[in-house]
C-alpha cells in the first residue's frame, strides 16, 4: 500500500496565530490536491513564466485566500513551504505590523473548492481570549471572528 494513494477526504486546516502584532497563517493540506489546483502533475515541468512551484502556489493562495482586519486587507507573504509525500504545510505572515488586540478578523477562502465539491476548509484562530474556529466550504466561504 502506497502513502500517495487517492483519498476520499478533501480538507485543509488553516491556523492563524497573532503574536507581536503580526499575523501568521499556517495552511495544511494534501499535496496531491494542491498540485491539481495549481496545474502540476508529477514529472511535468513548471509552466513558462514561473521559476518554481512556490510561485504557482503563492499565486493560487493569493487568488483563493484573503484576510481582512477591521475592513482592511492584510497582505501575506510566504515564509516556508514544506512537503511530505502526502501533505504540505505553507506558512504565511503579514508583512505589516498591525494593532491586532481588538477588532474584526475576516477570513475568506475558496481554497480547493473549484477542484472538489466536498472541500472543507477548517479555520482555527488563537486569540488573546482563547481559540476560535469555524468551517468553510464551497457554499460558506467567509468567516468573521471578533478579537
What is the per-residue pLDDT across 127-147, written as a single tens digit (0 to 9) for each? 777 899 999 999 999 999 988
| pTM attached to this predicted model | 0.88
The mean pLDDT value for 100-105 works out to: 83
The mean pLDDT value for 84-108 works out to: 88
**71: its cell numbers:** 475592513
Tell me if residue 110 falls in helix, strand or coil: coil
First to last CA, the chain: 45
| Residues forming beta bridges with residue 107, ordered by sequence position | 67, 143
Please tell me the chain's helix, strand, coil percentages from 3-state DSSP, rounded to the nearest 5.
15, 45, 40
The mean pLDDT value for 34-41 works out to: 87
pLDDT score for 3: 43
Task: Report how far residue 31's alpha carbon sits from residue 36's, in angstroms, rounded to the nearest whole number.
Answer: 9
Which of 91, 110, 96, 76 has the alpha carbon at shortest distance from 22? 96
Percentage of the residues of the chain whose pLDDT score is greater than 70: 94
Give the domain ranges of the chain: 11-146
pLDDT score for 51: 74
Q: Which of 11-25, 36-50, 59-73, 122-136 has the lowest mean pLDDT?
A: 36-50
Amino acid at each position: 500500500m502506497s502513502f500517495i494513494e487517492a483519498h476520499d477526504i478533501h480538507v485543509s486546516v488553516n491556523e492563524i496565530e497573532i503574536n507581536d502584532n503580526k499575523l501568521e497563517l499556517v495552511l495544511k493540506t494534501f499535496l496531491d490536491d494542491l498540485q491539481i489546483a495549481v496545474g502540476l502533475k508529477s514529472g511535468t515541468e513548471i509552466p513558462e513564466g514561473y521559476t518554481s512551484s512556490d510561485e504557482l502556489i503563492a499565486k493560487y493562495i493569493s487568488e483563493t485566500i484573503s484576510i481582512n482586519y477591521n475592513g482592511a486587507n492584510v497582505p501575506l507573504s510566504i515564509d516556508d513551504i514544506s512537503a511530505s509525500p502526502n501533505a504540505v504545510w505553507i506558512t504565511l505572515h503579514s508583512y505589516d505590523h498591525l494593532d491586532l488586540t481588538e477588532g474584526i478578523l475576516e477570513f475568506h477562502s475558496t481554497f480547493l473548492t473549484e477542484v472538489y465539491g466536498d472541500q472543507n476548509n477548517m479555520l482555527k484562530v488563537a486569540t488573546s481570549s482563547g481559540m476560535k474556529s469555524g468551517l468553510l466550504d464551497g457554499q460558506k466561504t467567509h468567516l468573521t471572528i471578533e478579537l
